[in-house]
Amino acid sequence: MFAVVRIAGQQFRVSPSEKVFVPKLKSDVGTKLTFDQVLILGDEKNTTVGKPYIDGAKVEATVLKHVKDDTVIVLKKKKRKGYRVRNGHRQQYTQIEINSLA
């Protein structure tokens, strides 16, 4: 069984007991979350597509931890001008575990 659900403005394909990294959510570790913006719900035989969402469908998940991604280095340079800037960025994510699809 699988579902395509919208979490923090992005779409994710999830299955029960799957661990997913999503953009950082403002929830504490161990919090149970319910996502009701389910776009597609299906299994091996049937698939239901919402218009745009499926009424009554929901995905329940638990927050496992908050993490940061690897550093991405951004370099800017203009030739012959002596201009060089070096910046780094670390994107923040939340790891969630999908408990059930309904």
- The whole-chain average pLDDT of the chain stands at 96
Domain membership flag for residue 6 = yes
Residue 36 included in any domain: yes
Our count of domains for the chain comes to 1
Q: How many CA atoms lie within 13 A of 89 on its CB side?
A: 5
pTM: 0.85
60 in a domain, yes or no?
A: yes
Q: Residue 13 in 3-state DSSP?
A: strand
The per-residue pLDDT for 88 is 97
Strands 19-23 and 10-14: unpaired
Q: What's the pLDDT at 102?
A: 87
Alpha-carbon dihedral of residues 17, 22, 28, 31, nearest 10 degrees? -30
Q: Is there a domain that residue 41 lies in? A: yes
Q: Quick check: is 85 in a domain?
A: no
In a domain, 14, yes or no: yes
Is the pLDDT confidence value at 44 over 90?
no
Bond from prior residue into 23 cis (ω within 30 degrees of 0): no
Whether 29 is in a domain gets the answer yes
Confidence of residue 16 (pLDDT cuts 50, 70, 90): very high
The answer to whether position 87 is within a domain reads: no
Domain containing residue 53 = 2-66+94-101
User: Which tokens hold the place of 90?
Assistant: 């670390």
